[in-house]
Amino acid sequence: MVIEPGAELAPPQRATRVRYLIIFMLFVASSFSYGDRVALSVAGTTMQKQLALDPVRFGFLLSGFSWAYVLGQLPSGGLLDRFGSKRVYGISIFLWTICAFLIGFAGYLPTAYIFSTIFVLRLLSGLAQSPVFPGNGRIVAAWFPTAERGTASAIFNSSQYFALVAFAPIFGWLTQRYGWQSTFWFMGVFGLVLVFAWYKTVYNVPNHPLISQAEIDHIERGGGLINIDRAAGAKSSSHPLTWAGVAKLLQQRMLVGIYIGQFCITTLTYFFITWFPVYLVQARHMSVLKGGFAVALPALCGSIGGVLGGICSDALLRRGHSLTFARKAPIIAGMLLSVTMIACNYTNTQAVVMFLMSLAFFGKGFGALGWTVIADTSPKELIGLNGGLFNLFGNTAGITTPIIIGFIVQKTGSFNGALVFVAVTALMAIFSYVVIVGEIKRVNLTPAEPTGQSA
């Protein structure tokens, strides 16, 4: 190659790592989303006494969030596909922050109105938060190549455990020192900070001001869907939210098996973030403050398990194992570990209970690869919708779990049956992935032949 005199060679462009900043923001936003849900659980014993709530009625209050959260999944998935992840997600954070502020002030209403007001605000908060995890799945599909998605999805999914580690001790202290209302004001103040950080940090892949072309190329070559938001907001969008799209997804046996598996896995999640703090106080006779701190150990184990599950899955994939084996093996192993919580029914030693719950929580985190599987399997034109449908099935457990456990506790006067119920759902998750799901691969809804049959 001949170089003309005076010509300069452009230095090679250094590859950036902006995608790590993006997954950090997803982790933080998801942690605050779960922190908002945990607040009611940690403050639950104090609220039960103040409002004279029996276990069933309190179970309905715990489930209030999930009623609207579930109903909002399909619309939120459609909105994400239509208007893009950044805009819809950012509005979501702002709206749930306002709800948190209002719940705190609801505590000063006449006692007769507190329950109904909080229930309605929890419904609105659930509706506001419905785009969070479909948005996470969509952003990971855009920002990460296939071989990195397991770890990325595990990181944001581990937020549900980290939220207990970070917020439960704070909420326990705030509740004991300043009353349960203060926990929601805490979430409101920091939620506004999160809104500002979100809009300053998150962009579409090609438009991020800090990203290099080398990183864009790396993501795209590895299977990242970097242009899924390019047409967001365009009037010509050819894939709006329609029941036909939902029907296409529900015709895929693999996806239905994944949905059922997620319902079972999320049952474990909602036990830990709703009734588990109450279990420690009422069944294991801890104070609210001690229970808030005690929750942190199993939650930390769950967080570690969540990240390790994703790392293990990606490592199996890099070593040449099939996508199916790499995703299913951690799920099955994790759910088997979760079943160990049943042993808590046969000991009265708090240290043993905490060990068993920590082991179960670790297993639950290790096997929680549902969002990774969704990023691997969603049809490219319906990523947001599929994420919404997946989260709808999964978070139906947020309605059923608090209520079923409330009935079990009230009927039996014990949490023993509740632990059996949760463990059995872990076994059902294994059945779903082994028997129903089959091979894990991306769904192609594009007609393969002129007849219009789907691939």
> pLDDT tens-digit profile of 152-206?
877 887 787 788 778 878 888 888 888 888 888 999 999 999 999 998 998 888 8
pLDDT tens across 201-226, in order? 988 888 888 888 888 888 888 777 77
Please state, rounded to an integer, the average pLDDT across all residues of the chain.
Answer: 82
On whether residue 10 sits in a domain, the answer given is: no
**Any domain includes 357:** yes
The amino acid at residue 135 is G
pLDDT value of position 256: 93
Q: What is the pLDDT of residue 39?
A: 83
pTM beyond cutoff 0.75: no
For residue 439, pLDDT over 70 is answered with yes
Q: Quick one: pLDDT band at residue 69, thresholds 50, 70, 90? A: confident
Span 266-292, average pLDDT = 80
**3 assigned to some structural domain:** no
SS3 447: strand
Decide if 455 is inside a domain: no
Among the listed residues 171, 61, 164, 170, the one whose alpha carbon sits nearest the alpha carbon of residue 106: 61
Percentage of the residues of the chain whose pLDDT score is greater than 90: 25
Report yes or no: 73 and 136 within 8 Å, Cβ to Cβ. Answer: no
Residue 284 lies in a domain: yes
Query: Is 235 among the domain residues?
Result: no
Total structural domains in the chain? 1
Average pLDDT over residues 262-274: 88
Provide mean pLDDT across the span 100-106: 88
Whether 50 is covered by a domain: the verdict is: yes
pLDDT confidence band for 325 (50 / 70 / 90): very high
CA distance readout (Å), 18 to 31, 207, 209, 312, 380 = 20, 12, 10, 23, 23
Residue 33, domain CATH: 1.20.1250.20
pLDDT digits (tens, 9 = 90+) for 342-395: 999 998 888 898 999 999 989 998 998 887 888 788 887 777 778 778 888 888
| pLDDT value for 398 | 82
pLDDT in the model for residue 346: 92
Between 105 and 45, residue with greater pLDDT: 105
- Which domain, by its residues, includes 310? 18-229+240-437
The full DSSP string for 172-198 is HHHHHHH-THHHHHHHHHHHHHHHHHH
What pLDDT is recorded for position 452?
A: 39
The predicted model gives 231-243 an average pLDDT of: 50
Q: Is residue 453 part of a domain?
A: no
In tens, the pLDDT along 18-45 reads 888 989 999 999 999 988 888 887 777 7
| Residue 329 reports pLDDT greater than 80 | yes
